Every structure is written in C-alpha cells, then in structure tokens.
Structure 1
Amino acid sequence: MISATRVQAASAAVTVLSNRTEVTDWARRYFGPWWAASAVEASSVCAGPVVVATVDPTELAALTLQVHDGRPAEEVEYARHRMLVARDGEDIIAASPDESIAYRYTASTGRLELSGVGVMELALAAARLAREVVRGQLLRDGWAALHASAVVRPEDGATLLSFGGKGAGKTTTALLLASAGWQLLANDRVLVRPTGERDVEVVPWPSAAALGLGLVDSLGWGAAARGHLQEGGAFHPTQHDSVTEALLAGDFTPLWEDGKRRERKVQVFPDQFTPLFGVELATGGRAAGLLFPRVEADGSPDIFDGDQGLGLREDDFMSGATEDRYPDIFELAGGVDGGGRLSARDEVSVRLAKMPHLRVRLSHDVPTSVAALRKAAEAI
C-alpha cells in the first residue's frame, strides 16, 4: 500500500510517497509544525514534484550498479555522507554507500525516486530531499535563504532576526526570547523574500534544533529533557549516543568531537518544543529588526545601537560556499545559488539595512540576558 504526505510552504509544494507509512509519517511530523504537511490519498497524486521513497533491495542494487557501471561519476559530500552522482540520459542518478540508498531524478516530470533497505535512513533522506525540492522552488520564485535565527511577536507577526558567525549566540538569542513569550520561527536559518514596497516576509526552514548541553541546562530545560528520555521518549535520531547518555545521567558538561572543533548537541524535533519546553512555534512573520548577539560568559548583558547602514555580509546567506551541507546535486534550484538569486539577496539586504539594528551582549546569566533582550525587543 502506498501512503502520501503533501508538504507546502508559501507557493511551493511537494508530495512524499512511500510503500512504508513510517516514511510519510516522518515527513508529516518533521514538516508539520512549521510548514503545512498533511496526509493525502496517494491515488490523488497525478503530477510532480514528488519524492517517491521505496524500500526495495532489488531496485537499490540495480540503480547502484548503474551509477558504478563505468560512466563518469562525481563524488560529493551530502548531509555528511559520501555520494556518487552520475547522469543517465536526462536523469541524474546517485548512490550513497554510507546509507545504502540510490536515487534517480527526472527533471521533466519532477519525480525524485529513492530506493533503500533501511526504513529510518530512507525516511531521513526523503525528508531532506522534499525540503530541497521546496527550497528549489522558492529560490526560483525570488526567495533567499539567510543564516539567521528568528522569533515572532504573536500580536502582530513582527519578526526579529539574529545574525552572527558560528557560536555568536543566534540560537541562544532565539530561545531566550522564545522563553519570554515570543514564538520560535527558526534557530539557524530562514527563507525570506521582499514583499510590497518595503517589507521582508519570513518563513521557517524546518530542521531539528541543535542545542548544546550547557544551553539546555541554563534554560532550565534539563529536567524535562531527562524526564522525556527516562519515560521512553527519544530525540532526533541524528543525536549522538553520548549526548543521550549525558542527559540520562544529568550531566550537562559540553561534549566535543574532532578535537573540540564541533560540539555534540541535543537534537530536538520541532514538535517537541511546545510539549517539552513550553516554547510556541510560528509559521511565518514580517521582518522588523536585526539583532547581532555576542555571548560573554562573565559579561554584563546589555544592548548597543548597531550600524543601520551596514547591511548583510555575503556569508549571512546560505550557499555551498558557506555552511550549506546540502549541495544541489539534483539541480532542483535550476542553477540558482543556494542563498537565492543575486537580485533577491540584494533587495533583501537593502530592506533589512533600513530596519533597526541592535548589538546585544549576553552572558550565562539567563535572567539578566532575557532582560537585555526584552529591552532590545521593546526598542525595535
């Protein structure tokens, strides 16, 4: 039996179909809190774009053999996995040895097929690619992708975007404001487009939120996270076992890998924020101001006027040249850069540059940091 989940964000849409309900259920759970995702009758799906994920060892073997049959193939890294990519006529075919998944994309029909043996691996891959299909449509339609966190004021949809390099405090800023009554729109990246004469529309980029153990503890969420696991619950399957073990032990000392180059973090599903941590989610908003946080462990939280004419840096837009782990190997964006068309990025930059900018210094003192952010929000 084939099941189907329809996913829609703004003007873009894709349908995920599978011979395993776990795959379509996963897509519905993953996208549902931020994008519109609902079950539909598979028989009603008569046109693309579609992502068809099938548990089928025979098809996996046949398609993998095609990728390795001597035709030119390029090796790329996709979602931290090795991928071999080749062409078969007008189709793009690929194989991921790490995940035991093979792919075929036919651009003329918008049909992206995945074959594999592991249900969870297939569910993860199908959701990733469904998201990429939607992103490709939005980028072609004039949206841009920003490396920023975002929160929305429930009363009027006003949205605060937080910018900064890795470790600057974008996620911390968003979660502190969310704990103070704002709605969480994104913890790491958003999609934006110019609307009207001066506005910038913002929609979320669905993903698991990566939260450091120290941040979970400082927000007062440690007991809820630990209790969730003790009761048999789980977080996103990409979470490292050592993080789960630390949570169960009540140990919130940061865990590192690669010689302290990357922290192992709690991986929170979007739909876990509200029941576990009391954080409400938003599905969209309108940009109203920009925050530039900096975390100083022993500093005194405060706000400072920013440079309103500064605009955005190139690496504030997501692209393969910055931190994008998902290169467009299936050409879903039609050649548009991962951060959006240059014209869209330029217009977004111009409009955001005219909005209030505030630099915020945060510390490990949560109450005083929240007070500083409340002050910043009121100023905007």
Structure 2
Amino acid sequence: MKSHAVRLESAGHSVTVVAAERAVTDWSGRYFGPWWKAATVEAQDVCAGAVVIAEVDHGRFGDESLAVTRVAHRSVGYARARLLVAEDREAGLIRAVSPEDGLAYRSEPHAGSLLVFGCETEPVATATARLAREMLRGLLLRDGWAVLHASAVVAEDGRTVLTLGRKGAGKTTTALALAGRHGCGLLANDRVFVRANDRGGVDVLPWPSAAALGLGLLDALGWAGICRERLEAGEALHPTQDRRVTEALLAGRREPLWEGGKELKVQVFPDQFPGWFGVPLATEGQAAALVFPRIEAGAAPAEEDAPCGLGEGDFMSGATEDRYPDVFGLVGVDGGGTEEARRAVAERLAELPHHSVVLGHDVGANADFLAKVTGCV
C-alpha cells in the first residue's frame, strides 16, 4: 500500500508526517500550511529526522491498548481526555492509549519517532497534527526559542508588531486590523516563538493554530458575509467550532453568542485567511514594536498614558501548557522555553517601542491608527 508524507519546516528544523491514508497527511498540510512550510514529499525518501507515523487500523489499536493496560501504567489528562501511559525506561519506549478517543500511541523520544494508531480517520488525523506540532515545538525550544503569548503581524520589510495582553484584551483584533487593511502578513493570532538573535534583536516565528474570532469582530472585518457564502457552498470551518456558531452564521446573525460567560467563536483554519479573506500568512519576522491594547465600545483609537511592559506571565510555561503535558517526551524542556531564553528575549523586547492603546469597534479607524503609531506599514 502506498504511503503519503508531508514535511513541516521552521527555522531549520523539520518533522515529517507519514500515513497510508491521504486524508491524514492532507490534514497536517492544511493545518500548518505556509506557516510551517508544509510540503508533500515522497514517503520512501523519509529516512532520517523526526517523524510521526499514523495508522487507521482497529487491530493495531487493540494490540497497543493491551500493551498498555497489561503493565503498570498511570492516568493523565491529555487534550481534554483520559490517557493511560506506560513507560519502559530501559527500552526508551512510551506507550499510551486514550480509550474514549479510540487512539493509541508509541513514542521513542531518543529516536525522534512517534506512532499513532486509531479506529477512525478524523481522530487519527487530528491527533497526528497535534503531536507533529508538539514534536517541532520541542525541537525549537531545545534550540533556544521560547513561546510568547502574543499575536503578530509582519510588514513587507520583516518588521513585526507584537500585541500582548490578557485574554480578551484585543490581541486578535489588533493583528487582524493591520493584516486585513494594511497588507501585513499574519504571523499568529495568539502565540509566537521568539528568540534573541546575534543582531541585537528578537526573531519571531509562527505557532500554527486555528484562530477564534467572535461574531462581532467577524462582522466588523467585513468577513461574516464571506463565511456565510462559503458555508452555503458546502465548505466548512474548523471542526472544533460549536454548531450554534455555524447556525448563527448561516442565519446571518452578527451579535456575539455566549454560554456560561464564555463567548462562542468562529474557528478559522490557517489556510482560510488567505483563501477566504485575502490575508497573507507570514513565516518569520523580527520584533519592532509592542502594542498593549484595550477595547472600548465607541472609543476613538488613541494612545494611552498607561504603564505597559512585558511580564513573566506573557510567556507560556509548563503551568499554562498543561492541556498537553509532555507525556511522550517530545519537548524535553519547559513548554514555554528555558528560563535563559525567556530572559534574553525579555531584555531585548524591553528596548523596543511600547504602545498602550485604546481601540474602538471601527476596524478601519483602528487599522489606520495602528499603522501610524507603530510605523510598521
């Protein structure tokens, strides 16, 4: 049986996904796309480097499940599911099974190899992409990169605007205002890899993920109608999207949807930014300015005389990355990077222009204001 493969690359590191089912490798290719230079390769050419192999095979899933449950194992939470983990330190082998998801895993961290077995294609494809991202994250973090909780856009000359703040502060609003109206490349909407470089600056790389956009922001950007047309034509947004959001888009609703104090948002695939909305994706940049936004309905965009600066909480860490604990030995360091890497980045970013701003709901006005303030367009 012919196998398919897609290679992901960033900053000189790569991970290859191999599977007999094309749908599995297509999922990784789409999910990481231009951000991590996803490219189809010949499976027979995959002979070295980090690799994730996926199989949709009920029998193999059963065999791997028994291999875990028949020996001493522990139970952990992983990707919002229960994971049973058995570790053979002598053999350098980690086995795991997620009974509810119908997924089993076999990891050999020192060999840079991980196998995923499952009963159905979609869960296998999703798990494979997630673990490929974890594997490449580990390669980058061990190479001195750190993970910053920020959105980022890149101008044509590589200068990058980082937007920071707590959840709901307006990081995504700021990034998409610049990317949607002034032609900047979208590097990331929620987190980025950062590393101090030998030129006295900070290099920035994307963290590929689906983007969560509220219905109000989608409307303000002028994208709600586009989404409705695409959905009516049979296309789909990311499968993690709540069906009520899809129904609201199809019904032409624009007001935010809430459940228990949490806004239900549109979940956009990375490739839908250029494909649906004409927003290019950037693959790298160098930090040039930091923006700390605050959203206020009816406000005219303006700079504020308010304290702003990078804090330890702006870096991701083991405490903030506990949804995906490193049970497979793929990362090897703190999930947000080493303390030394974070400190070096913080010192460099402190030297860049900082802008504390208030933004309203007029995306065009926000975009023009941000372009002028940051000087990056």
Match for residue 267 of structure 2?
267
180, 183, 186: which one pairs with 1:184?
Answer: 186
Counterpart residue type for residue 135 of structure 1:
R
- Distance, in Å, in 2 between the alignment partners of 1:190 and 1:133 is 16
Q: 1:133 aligned to 2:135?
A: yes
- Distance, in Å, in 1 between the alignment partners of 2:324 and 2:177 is 29
- Distance, in Å, in 2 between the alignment partners of 1:190 and 1:267 is 18
| 1:323 to partner: Cα distance | 5.2
Q: Would the aligned equivalents of 1:305 and 1:358 in 2 still touch at CA under 8 Å?
A: no
341, 353, 365: which one pairs with 2:338?
Answer: 341
Give the alignment's TM-score, normalised by structure 1: 0.94
119, 122, 144: which one pairs with 1:120?
Answer: 122
Match for residue 34 of structure 2?
33
- Distance, in Å, in 2 between the alignment partners of 1:246 and 1:86 is 44
SS in 1 for 2:101: coil
- Distance, in Å, in 1 between the alignment partners of 2:309 and 2:98 is 39
Q: 1:216 aligned to 2:218?
A: yes
Q: Would the aligned equivalents of 2:153 and 2:185 in 1 still touch at CA under 8 Å?
A: yes
Q: How does 1:1-380 map onto structure 2 within 5 Å?
A: 1-76=2-77, 78-88=78-88, 89-154=91-156, 156-181=157-182, 182-257=184-259, 259-260=260-261, 262-304=262-304, 311-322=309-320, 325-334=323-332, 336-378=333-375
| 1:96 to partner: Cα distance | 1.6
SS in 2 for 1:355: coil
C-alpha distance 210-372 of structure 1, shift in aligned 2 (>3 A):
same
Counterpart residue type for residue 115 of structure 2:
E
Q: Would the aligned equivalents of 1:90 and 1:106 in 2 still touch at CA under 8 Å?
A: yes
SS in 2 for 1:180: helix
Q: Which moved more, 1:169-178 or 1:40-49?
A: 40-49
| 1:165 to partner: Cα distance | 0.4
Q: Which moved more, 1:166-175 or 1:63-72?
A: 63-72
| 1:7 to partner: Cα distance | 0.9
Q: Which moved more, 1:271-280 or 1:202-211?
A: 271-280
Q: Would the aligned equivalents of 2:55 and 2:116 in 1 still touch at CA under 8 Å?
A: yes
| 1:332 to partner: Cα distance | 1.3
Counterpart residue type for residue 164 of structure 2:
F
Q: Would the aligned equivalents of 1:186 and 1:205 in 2 still touch at CA under 8 Å?
A: yes
C-alpha distance 292-265 of structure 1, shift in aligned 2 (>3 A):
same
- Distance, in Å, in 2 between the alignment partners of 1:323 and 1:256 is 25
Structure 1 runs (4+) deviating above 4 angstroms are none
Give the alignment's TM-score, normalised by structure 2: 0.95
Counterpart residue type for residue 198 of structure 2:
G
User: Any idea what the Cα deviations from partners look like across 1:311-330, whole Å, max 9, x if unmatched?
Assistant: 52122111231255322221
SS in 2 for 1:34: helix
Q: Would the aligned equivalents of 2:321 and 2:335 in 1 still touch at CA under 8 Å?
A: no
Counterpart residue type for residue 242 of structure 2:
H
- Distance, in Å, in 2 between the alignment partners of 1:97 and 1:264 is 28
**CA RMSD, 1 decimal:** 1.7
User: Any idea what the Cα deviations from partners look like across 1:52-73, whole Å, max 9, x if unmatched?
Assistant: 0100111111111222225131
User: Any idea what the Cα deviations from partners look like across 1:184-234, whole Å, max 9, x if unmatched?
Assistant: 110001001111141111110111111111110111111001000011111
The percentage of counterpart residues that share the same residue type is: 55
| 1:379 to partner: Cα distance | 8.1
- Distance, in Å, in 2 between the alignment partners of 1:275 and 1:17 is 26
User: Any idea what the Cα deviations from partners look like across 1:44-89, whole Å, max 9, x if unmatched?
Assistant: 111231100100111111111222225131322x222232222134
User: Any idea what the Cα deviations from partners look like across 1:127-179, whole Å, max 9, x if unmatched?
Assistant: 1110111000000000001110000111x110000000000000000001111
C-alpha distance 94-256 of structure 1, shift in aligned 2 (>3 A):
farther
C-alpha distance 66-263 of structure 1, shift in aligned 2 (>3 A):
farther
- Distance, in Å, in 2 between the alignment partners of 1:283 and 1:130 is 18
Q: Would the aligned equivalents of 1:360 and 1:372 in 2 still touch at CA under 8 Å?
A: no
C-alpha distance 118-57 of structure 1, shift in aligned 2 (>3 A):
same
User: Any idea what the Cα deviations from partners look like across 1:280-318, whole Å, max 9, x if unmatched?
Assistant: 1111101001000111123332113665xx652122111
Q: Would the aligned equivalents of 1:306 and 1:359 in 2 still touch at CA under 8 Å?
A: yes
- Distance, in Å, in 2 between the alignment partners of 1:239 and 1:38 is 26
- Distance, in Å, in 2 between the alignment partners of 1:306 and 1:9 is 36
C-alpha distance 225-166 of structure 1, shift in aligned 2 (>3 A):
same
Counterpart residue type for residue 310 of structure 2:
L
Q: Would the aligned equivalents of 1:151 and 1:161 in 2 still touch at CA under 8 Å?
A: yes
Counterpart residue type for residue 158 of structure 1:
R
